[in-house]
Amino acid sequence: MELYNADGSPAEMSGNGIRCLAAAVRRATNATWDNVDVETVAGRRNVRLTMDGTSGYGSVAMGDVTFEESIDGALGVARVGNPHVVVLDDPAWSVTGREELAAKLAAQVGGANVEFLSVLGADHLSINVIERGVGWTQACGTGSCAVAAVARRAGLSGDVVTVENPGGALRVALEGNEATLSGPVQFVANVEWLEA
């Protein structure tokens, strides 16, 4: 899998993208397998699918979440194949204030996705994400894994959490530092790419 952000820059990994890629390949090839290994820039990842027609559910063995040196203003800095800065959100912040904070924090680590985290319970988190090379996004699988690991390390959540993204809920299970991301897949459309 090769992945490019909206601005054309390469990305190492997408937890949601890899799940959808596996489902699209399975559909396009009329395959019946329920798991597949996918090579990414971040390494090989195993994807498991349960499909019913054009919709289903998948899980991805995301590998280790690694922690980096924290920075002022952040709850933690983590890598899930790609870099993330996790910030405890403040409802009083404006959208512009969040964007300015995200740009400042991301620059300190050489570019990163920035997750604004709200803790809803020990097994329930909520995030809003500014993705590197994309901007505000509806869902971030690697970001969901990063916030789950950072929140657990800070004593704010447990090993298994639901992470609410603006586009829907994802499930993250942590075993040691290894994360498994689970969520839905849904066929939307066939896309034809025409060379110019």
Dist. CA 24–CA 187, nearest whole Å: 8
- Residues ≥6 apart with Cβ < 8 Å to 30: none
Q: How confident is residue 195, by pLDDT bands cut at 50, 70 and 90? A: confident
The predicted pLDDT at position 191 comes to 83
pLDDT, one tens digit per residue, over 94-124 is 999 999 999 999 999 999 999 999 999 999 9
Q: Which CATH number describes the domain made up of 63-182? A: 3.10.310.10
Dist. CA 169–CA 184, nearest whole Å: 9
pLDDT, one tens digit per residue, over 141-168 is 999 999 999 999 999 999 999 999 999 9
The predicted pLDDT at position 73 comes to 95
How far apart are the two ends of the chain, measured CA to CA in Å? Answer: 23
Per-domain residue ranges of the chain: 3-62, 63-182
| Weakest-pLDDT range from 11-15, 78-82, 101-105 | 11-15
Average pLDDT over every residue of 18-29: 93
Using DSSP, how many helices (H) and how many strands (E) does the chain show? 3, 14
Instruction: Put residue 62 in one of left, alpha, beta given phi > 0 → left and psi -120 to 50 → alpha.
Output: alpha
Where are the strands (E) in the chain, listed by range? 3-4, 10-11, 35-40, 43-52, 55-64, 66-68, 76-79, 83-88, 113-121, 124-131, 135-137, 160-165, 168-175, 178-186
pLDDT at 180 over 90: yes
